[in-house]
Structure formats: structure tokens, C-alpha cells
Chain A
Amino acid sequence: MHLTRWRYPGLVIIAALLFAASALPAEASDEGRFEIRNAYVEMLGGAWQLDVRLDLGLSEAARQAFDEGVPLTLMLEVEATTARRFLPDETVVSLTKEWQLAYDAIADRYVVTDPVTGEHVSHATRAEALDALAHISKLQFADTTQLPTGGRFEMRVRASVEIGDLPTAIKVLLFWKSWSRSTDWYVWSVRP
């Protein structure tokens, strides 16, 4: 019997690594739901505005990091594409919007900050802060020059939460830890 003698040890090692890699998302899936519940756009005041509702469940690592004082970053990726005849779809709008959630120990409040505008909103509880982040309203992402009112286009939105303000090297070295979570793309068509 030669069953105990590995004939292809390299293949065995690769298979083990693949198995370990496949096990990592399974660990993440045990945590809170993180997905886009619904999203829609509307034309208001000559600009396209986006409303998104999220189920913003944090991973264990994110919760632990946040509790220790590490801020979290919510990133929303927005894309609008128009169909073209005989050609691939054209991405007309591509926007990335970030919000940072941090805990202020002195004020004992949870602060949501827009890094671009500097808009600063504090909440008494983490749940309120997360709820505020989960309701994104009136996000202006395009104007009529980019997306004409009468035209048809396809929207897609994806959200991700990262444990912010961590050294990149640590993220690279400890790549197997869940430093971020992303939702799937939420896609819908906009018709006149």
C-alpha cells in the first residue's frame, strides 16, 4: 500500500490553501447582515439624487476596532451606465462617496463626518449613528448634462465598510483578517 506516500505534495498544499481561503468568507458570513436593502434615484432641481437604504451590520473585527477607538469608513460606489449599440455600455457617472464614523470619548458621542465637505453630525448612540449612515438621502451624483432626463440608464451601487486609519502594511501582512466588508452590486434600470 502506498496511500501514505503523497505523490503530488505541491497539489495538496495548494488545495489546503484554497480550502483555507474559502473558509475565510464563511467566517465573515456569520456576522451581521451587510447589504443594500433598496436604492432609487430621482430628478430634483435639475440634478439626479440618490437615496440608499442599507442593512449596516458590522463584522466582529470592525466592532472590536471601533470599540477600541479605531474609526470606521463607509464607502459608497455609484455608477451609471448607458447602453450603446454594438459597443459595450458606457460608464457615464462613477462616484465614490465616503463617511467616517468615530467615537468621541470626551463627549461620549458618535460622530459621522463627511471628509470632503467636513459636515459633522454627532449621535448619542452607536445605533443612531449607524442608522444615520444606513439612510443615505439626497446624494447628488449627476446632472442632466451627464444623464438626460428622458434617457434610459442603468444604475448600480455598492457599499463597503473598512476599518479606517490602519497602516497599509498591517492590512497587507495580515491579509486574512476581515479589515473590510463589501456588499454586492445593487443594480437597477432607470426608465423615463
Chain B
Amino acid sequence: MTRRWLPVAVGIGIVVWVAALALLAVTGEGSQRFGQLQPWILLINIAGVIVLLALIGSRLTDFIRDWRRRVPGSRLRGRTILMFGGLAVAPLLLVFTFSVLFLTRGIDSWFHAEVREGLSDALGLSRAALDLRMREVLERTQRIADDLSNLGGSSLYAALDDHLRLAGADELIVTNSGGQPEAYSTSGMQHGLPGTQPEELLQQVRQGSPYVSLEPLSGGGYRIRAATRIGAAQSLQGSRLLVATYPVPQRLADLAATVQNAYQQYGRLSFLREPLKLSFVLTLSLVLLMALLAALYGALFFSQRLVRPVQDLIAGTRAVAKGDFDTRLSMPSHDEIGYLVTSFNDMTKKLARAREETERSQAAVEGERAALAVILARLTSGVISLEPDLRVRVANHAAGNILGVEFDQAAGQPLAELAARHPLLGQLHAVMQRHLEAGESEWREQVTLRSDAGRRELVCACTALPGDAGVPGGLVIVFDEVTQLLQAQRQAAWGEVARRLAHEIRNPLTPIQLSAERMRRKLFRGLQPAEAEILDRSTQTIVQQVEAMKQMVAAFSEYAKAPEMQLSEFDMNALIRQVSDLYHAQDPRVAFGLSLDPRAATLEADPGRIRQLLNNLLTNAVEALDGRENPVIMIETKRAGDQIVLNVIDNGPGFQGGLIEQAFDPYVTSKPKGTGLGLAIVRRIVEEHGGQVELENVPQGGARICITLPAASRELRRADARRERA
């Protein structure tokens, strides 16, 4: 409310002030009128000064506070105030100086010596004219007094009337020596009894001198009073006086009054000369002070108006710097500052829009990144993303499982350091380095990684990531473990071979055997003993070999055949005891050590196949221990979550050379008479149950076969489903 009415009040104040100055200008030439108005002018100016001082004080306090707090824009405002103030003060002081100079000289010019002399001369002239008149009147009065010296009673009155009329007097009075009237005659203009005569008149006449004086009248004009003694009495006692008053001619009286007024006015002005000058200078000083204060207030006011948009811009810029893009500035005007404010508002709008788009993009990127992380986590393929300097950016869980590396804390670590600690990753790193040194950033290769746990086949693909502005984006390596797939392929191929062998070989074997037996039967009797013996031996050999081939074909047929699973719950530990007892009974030299976890007792599986699995494992182990001293076979079971782990460890020679990498392949054997199907069948049974099998050489000597089987059929069925999908 106060802010809204303040400009109105200031406007009214300025109008009143200007009106006061106009009055000063209008009345300046007449000191009388100026004198009447000057108190009001002074009052207006003093009130204005007080109001302006209050306003300036308020604004100056605000400005000093802003200056001390180093409010943005306060320095600019200070310079603006100095500039505005300087521009206003200099011309004002100049005008004031010259005004005072002209004013004092103007007032002084009123009192030139010529004026004073002229007035004095006019006064002297007037006095001379009146003195002449007064002398004439006095002589006339003396003549009348001479005529009246011998008269008394009614003749005196008559004489007075005659002389009054003849002399043109207003009043003729005959008094005693004390001034008391004895007889008088007045013109029509006089009424009532004459009053007492002035003491000075009586004293002068008493002293023997005639009296004449010019007396000013209350209504303006003059009259001449003359007095003389009547007769030639020696002493005043008993003598009479004649007092006569005469009018001054109107023309002369008017001129004399004019001269008197001018003389009096000049004297008054002469007396007021210095006070007037001082008064004018003080008034001008007050006006100057008012103008200076108004200029100062204007400088404060307009500097604030001028600087406020700049302050708003600075505050807006700071807000934008702090990230507040919603800042909008009000339009102060339609000039350059207004254009600047409009540009600033446009800029903040665009920044806000850009930030919103960035946030949306960032959210989309975050979403995609989260989705990618989920996808990566669920991928069975290993994925490793590398920085251009081969530091690990990210790697998924599958990569860790395949390579045996904990990638959770590996982000940012050089791949070479990790490779030095993890052999599988080291082999992969070596392959990658080979390609990088060859200048290949994109390559695809099947890599074989070797470890104590066996061989692992990886299909790797490396791709360079796109970078920004010429900066390389790094590499991403995707790899799948195809060891089991290859083994499954080999297993399937060998199954097909076995089936064909069984089919193609089994069929001709029976005719061969029958033909050999028929040939022996037909020919044996007709031959010589020696020839008969040869025939018998030959046919016997053919039959034996055919029989052996039949057994081999049966074995291959058995491998190729996959009968339906008969799942049931059974005590695996008990089965292990039975089988181990059987083998121990066959070869008591071999010691069996059993470490069977009761929690691993119950297994839901095909007991016939598990028995075959145990038979194959123990057969291999016993055969491997042939000829060894203190042969020992350790059989362990333990529970690991939902899995049952079976370890069969012997202290034999272990797998020699590269045999460990192909131990599960059919027809791979280190034994002279082995078919090489034992471990292949073990692997097939484990996989049919959804388990895993690994083998390794024990550092102390011997081999260890580790089999992990799901404890319940649920996992088994799931494994079936996976297998079917595969």
C-alpha cells in the first residue's frame, strides 16, 4: 500500500514545490508581495527538505547495507549514484552561484547614490515649497494679529470671521496666555470647540517668537499651524495669542505626501538592504538544498530502478548456476535490459527443457542399463566389458562361473592383474592379447582352456564398442562354454557309430558264425585229421572271434541304447556299501575307505543306472590300482544344498598325459583290453540325472572323480527339460 502511494505523494510534493518556486519567481520582483508569500514558500521548502531527508535516509540506509553486504549490483548502483549526483550537483551549484551574484548586485542597484540624492532633493524641494507657504501664512497671521490687537467682544468675533474668510484659514483662535480659547472662528470644515494648543507652541510664543509648523493629518495631507502674540504686550501675562491653522493646497499636499512616502519607503528598503539580500540568499540556498536533495533522491531512486533488473539478472544467473532452471524474471521495460531479461528467460526455459530431456534420457538409459544388467545376469553366456585400457568395466555372473573369477569387486581392475591370479582368465587374456597385438579388435574364436579340472571349450567373440568423438569405447567379450555341448555332440556321434556298428556288424556275424559252424560240420568229417584240425581250429577261431565281436557289438549297443529311466528313492549310501563290498570281495587286496554323509543317503534316481555308474567307477579304479602297493579307494558322499556330491578317489597313477581331457570320450582308454566306454557311460548317466561330473589328478597321486547329482526328482525333471530343450 505504502509503495503504491509513495510515487503519488512524491509527485504531489514535486508539484507543490514547483508551484512554490513559481510563486517565488512571480513575486520576486515585489518585496511586499514576496514578503507575504515567502513564509509559505519557506514552509513548503522546509517540509520538502524534511520529507526528502527522510526518503534519502531510508534509501541511503538500504544502499549502505547492500554495499556492506556486497549485494550484487551495489557497486554499480554506487557508481550510478555518483554519476547522477555529480551531473546534478555541478550545474546546480553553478546556477546558485550566479543567482546569488545577480541577486545581490540587483538589490545593490536599488540604492545607487543618484537615487538617494534625487529623493533628498525632492524632499528638500518639497520642504522649500512648504516653507515658503509657511512663511506666507505666518506673515498673514501676524497681520491678522495686529488687526485684532485692539478688538474685543463681539467685534473680535466679527473680525475673526472676516479674517478667516479673507485669509483662507481653517481656524482662527484667540487664546489667553495659557492657551485657553477666548474667541475663535472656524470654517465649515471644523466642528466643535478647539482643543488645547501644543505645549511647544505656547513655549515658543511665550518666548516671544512666532510659531509655525507643518502638521501631518491622520487622513493624509498636511496643515499649517501658526501662532503669534496679539498686540505688543511686554509680558506674557495678560497677553493674548492668535493661533491659526491653514490648509495646504491639495496639489502641494499630494506631491509632498508622495515624496514623503517615497522617502520613507526608500529608507525602509535601505534599512532592509542587507536583511533582504540575506533573506534572498537564504531562500535560494534553501531552494538549492531542496534541489540537491531532490537530485540525490532521484539518483538513489533511478539508480535502484536501473540496477534492479541487473540485480535480478545476477540473482537469476546464480539460481541457474545452482541448478534452478525455473527462475523467471519479470520484464522491467521494453528496452535493451528488457531484451536481456527476455533472452535470459528464454535461456532458462531452454535449459529447463534440456534438463527434462536429459533426465528422461538418463532415466531411459538407467532403465536400459538395469534391463541389460538383468539380461546379463540371466545370460548363460559370459560377458566381459572392458575399458579401452583393458580395465574391467563390467562382467556378468556367468563369466565368473565359467572362468572361476569373482567379478563382483573387479570393476576398474586391470584385466591383466585378474588374469595373473586366475589361470582360466589368464589363458583367455593371452588369446585376447594375441588378437590385439595383431591389430584385431573384432574377432571370433573357439578357445580351449586347460585346467586341473579338465578341458573347457569356449566360443569367444570380441567386439570393439563405439566411442565418443574418436575416443575408443572399449571392448566387449562374449563367450559360451561349449564343452558339454561338444561332448554331447561327440557322445551323440559315438552313439550313432555304436548303433550302426551294432546294426551293421551284428547282422553279418550270425551268418558268419553259422557258416563257420556249418563248414566245420560238413567238412570236418571228410578231411584228414591234420586238415580237420586246421579246419576245426580255424572255425573255432572264427566262432570265438565272432562271439567276441558279438560281445563288443552288445557293449556298443548297450552304450547306444538309452532305456527309460526308472526313478525311485533309495539309500545311496547303502548302495555304495553293497557295491564296495562286492569289489572288496573280488579283490581283497584293495582297501575301501567309506566316508558317507547320512544327509546324503536319500537319492531320487534310477538305482539300476546308479549301480552301473558305481560299477564303472570302481572297475576303473580297481584296474588302475592293479600292481600298486597299498591300493586304496576312498568313497565320499556329502550334502551340498540340494545336491549330493560323490567323490571316488584312488591312489593310482592318475590320468596320464592328455588323457584327462578326453577321458569321457567313448573309445578312449589307457587299458589294453578296455572298450573306452566306462567313463563315457558314467558321464551319460550323470547327465541323464541332471548332474555334473569332473575328474582331476590328485596332487599326492591318483585320480579323483567328483559327481554332483540333484537330490530330488524335481531337479531331475528340470534337468530333463533342459536336456530336451538342448
Please tell me which one of the listed residues B216, B219, B268 contacts residue A122 in the complex, with CB atoms under 8 A apart. Answer: B216
Residues in chain B near residue A173, CB distance under 8 A: 42, 275, 278-279, 282-283
Does A44 make an interface contact (CB < 8 A)?
no
Could you mark each residue 97-126 of chain A with 1 if its beta carbon is under 8 Å from any beta carbon of chain B, else 0? 000001111111101010000111010100
Taking CB atoms and an 8 Å cut-off, the chain B residues in 1-53 that contact chain A are 31-32, 34-36, 38-39, 42
Residues in chain B near residue A91, CB distance under 8 A: none
Measured in the bound complex, the distance between the Cα atoms of B215 and A118 in whole Å is 15
Q: How far in angstroms is the closest Cβ of chain A from B206?
A: 16
Please tell me which one of the listed residues B38, B123, B265, B271 contacts residue A169 in the complex, with CB atoms under 8 A apart. Answer: B38
| Segment touching A, from B235-243, B255-263, B468-476 | B255-263
Please tell me which one of the listed residues A65, A67, A168 contacts residue B39 in the complex, with CB atoms under 8 A apart. Answer: A168
Does B437 make an interface contact (CB < 8 A)?
no
Q: Would B213 and A109 count as touching, CB distance under 8 A?
A: yes
Does A167 make an interface contact (CB < 8 A)?
yes
Q: Would B123 and A177 count as touching, CB distance under 8 A?
A: no
Residue of A nearest to B286 (CB): A173
Taking CB atoms and an 8 Å cut-off, the chain B residues in 206-225 that contact chain A are 213-219, 222
Q: Would B275 and A174 count as touching, CB distance under 8 A?
A: yes
Does B130 make an interface contact (CB < 8 A)?
yes
Taking CB atoms and an 8 Å cut-off, the chain A residues in 53-106 that contact chain B are 64-65, 67-70, 102-106
- The secondary-structure label for the interface of chain B is helix
Which of A70, A103, A111, A167: most chain B Cβ within 10 A?
A: A167
Residue of B nearest to A177 (CB): B275
Q: Would A109 and B215 count as touching, CB distance under 8 A?
A: yes
Q: Would A106 and B127 count as touching, CB distance under 8 A?
A: yes
Does B270 make an interface contact (CB < 8 A)?
yes
Q: How far in angstroms is the closest Cβ of chain A from B506?
A: 132
Residues in chain A near residue B213, CB distance under 8 A: 107, 109, 124
Q: Would A106 and B123 count as touching, CB distance under 8 A?
A: yes
Known: A105-B263, A107-B222, A109-B213. A70 touches B279 (CB 8 A): no
Taking CB atoms and an 8 Å cut-off, the chain B residues in 256-295 that contact chain A are 256-257, 259-260, 263-268, 270-272, 275-276, 278-279, 282-283
Does A165 make an interface contact (CB < 8 A)?
yes
Does A172 make an interface contact (CB < 8 A)?
yes
Count of interface residues, chain B, beta-carbon cutoff 8 Å:
40
Does B200 make an interface contact (CB < 8 A)?
yes
Residues in chain A near residue B127, CB distance under 8 A: 106, 108
Measured in the bound complex, the distance between the Cα atoms of B38 and A65 in whole Å is 22
Q: Would B260 and A104 count as touching, CB distance under 8 A?
A: yes
Measured in the bound complex, the distance between the Cα atoms of B263 and A126 in whole Å is 18
Residues in chain B near residue A67, CB distance under 8 A: 267
Does A166 make an interface contact (CB < 8 A)?
yes
Measured in the bound complex, the distance between the Cα atoms of B484 and A188 in whole Å is 143
Does B396 make an interface contact (CB < 8 A)?
no
Please tell me which one of the listed residues A111, A124, A165, A170 contacts residue B279 in the complex, with CB atoms under 8 A apart. Answer: A170
Residue of B nearest to A128 (CB): B200
Q: Would A169 and B39 count as touching, CB distance under 8 A?
A: yes
Measured in the bound complex, the distance between the Cα atoms of B179 and A190 in whole Å is 37
Measured in the bound complex, the distance between the Cα atoms of B267 and A189 in whole Å is 44
Measured in the bound complex, the distance between the Cα atoms of B282 and A75 in whole Å is 30
Residues in chain B near residue A111, CB distance under 8 A: 216
Does B126 make an interface contact (CB < 8 A)?
yes
Q: Would A169 and B279 count as touching, CB distance under 8 A?
A: yes
Residues in chain B near residue A120, CB distance under 8 A: 216-218
Residues in chain A near residue B275, CB distance under 8 A: 170, 173-174, 177
Q: How far in angstroms is the closest Cβ of chain B from A67?
A: 8
Q: How far in angstroms is the closest Cβ of chain A from B187?
A: 20
Residues in chain B near residue A70, CB distance under 8 A: 267-268, 271-272
Residues in chain A near residue B270, CB distance under 8 A: 68-69
Residue of A nearest to B119 (CB): A105
Q: How far in angstroms is the closest Cβ of chain A from B219?
A: 8
Which of A67, A102, A120: most chain B Cβ within 10 A?
A: A120
Residues in chain A near residue B259, CB distance under 8 A: 106
Please tell me which one of the listed residues A68, A108, A113, A166 contacts residue B218 in the complex, with CB atoms under 8 A apart. Answer: A113
Q: Would A174 and B279 count as touching, CB distance under 8 A?
A: yes
Could you mark each residue 125-137 of chain A with 1 if its beta carbon is under 8 Å from any beta carbon of chain B, else 0? 0001000000000
Residue of A nearest to B255 (CB): A106
Measured in the bound complex, the distance between the Cα atoms of B261 and A103 in whole Å is 11
Residue of A nearest to B265 (CB): A69
Residues in chain A near residue B263, CB distance under 8 A: 69, 105-106
Measured in the bound complex, the distance between the Cα atoms of B260 and A105 in whole Å is 6
Measured in the bound complex, the distance between the Cα atoms of B275 and A168 in whole Å is 12
Residues in chain A near residue B34, CB distance under 8 A: 167, 169
Q: Would B272 and A170 count as touching, CB distance under 8 A?
A: yes
Q: How far in angstroms is the closest Cβ of chain B from A137?
A: 14
Known: A70-B267, A111-B216. A106 touches B39 (CB 8 A): no
Q: Would B218 and A119 count as touching, CB distance under 8 A?
A: yes
Taking CB atoms and an 8 Å cut-off, the chain B residues in 605-658 that contact chain A are none
Taking CB atoms and an 8 Å cut-off, the chain A residues in 16-40 that contact chain B are none
Q: Would A69 and B215 count as touching, CB distance under 8 A?
A: no
Residues in chain B near residue A118, CB distance under 8 A: 218-219
Q: How far in angstroms is the closest Cβ of chain A from B283?
A: 8
Measured in the bound complex, the distance between the Cα atoms of B123 and A120 in whole Å is 22
Measured in the bound complex, the distance between the Cα atoms of B272 and A70 in whole Å is 9
Measured in the bound complex, the distance between the Cα atoms of B222 and A109 in whole Å is 12
Residues in chain B near residue A170, CB distance under 8 A: 35, 272, 275-276, 279
Taking CB atoms and an 8 Å cut-off, the chain B residues in 107-127 that contact chain A are 123, 126-127
Q: Would B268 and A165 count as touching, CB distance under 8 A?
A: yes
Residues in chain B near residue A177, CB distance under 8 A: 275
Measured in the bound complex, the distance between the Cα atoms of B482 and A86 in whole Å is 129
Q: Would A169 and B35 count as touching, CB distance under 8 A?
A: yes
Measured in the bound complex, the distance between the Cα atoms of B265 and A102 in whole Å is 12
Please tell me which one of the listed residues A69, A106, A172 contacts residue B267 in the complex, with CB atoms under 8 A apart. Answer: A69
Q: Would A109 and B39 count as touching, CB distance under 8 A?
A: no
Please tell me which one of the listed residues A103, A122, A167 contacts residue B35 in the complex, with CB atoms under 8 A apart. Answer: A167
Please tell me which one of the listed residues A68, A107, A113, A119 contacts residue B268 in the complex, with CB atoms under 8 A apart. Answer: A68
Which of A64, A67, A107, A172: most chain B Cβ within 10 A?
A: A107
Q: Would B39 and A172 count as touching, CB distance under 8 A?
A: yes
Residues in chain A near residue B218, CB distance under 8 A: 113, 118-120
Residue of A nearest to B225 (CB): A122
Measured in the bound complex, the distance between the Cα atoms of B198 and A109 in whole Å is 13
Residues in chain B near residue A108, CB distance under 8 A: 127, 214
Measured in the bound complex, the distance between the Cα atoms of B283 and A170 in whole Å is 10
Q: Would A69 and B268 count as touching, CB distance under 8 A?
A: yes
Q: Mind listing 5 A-B residue pairs with CB under 8 Å? A: A69-B263, A70-B271, A105-B264, A106-B123, A165-B268
Point out residues on A near B: beta carbons under 8 Å.
64-65, 67-70, 102-109, 111, 113, 118-120, 122, 124, 128, 165-170, 172-174, 177
Point out residues on B near A: beta carbons under 8 Å.
31-32, 34-36, 38-39, 42, 123, 126-127, 130, 200, 213-219, 222, 256-257, 259-260, 263-268, 270-272, 275-276, 278-279, 282-283
New A-B contacts (4) at CB < 8 Å, excluding given A69-B270, A167-B34: A68-B270, A111-B216, A113-B218, A167-B31
9 closest Cβ pairs, A-B complex: A167-B35, A69-B267, A169-B38, A120-B218, A68-B271, A68-B267, A107-B214, A69-B264, A106-B260
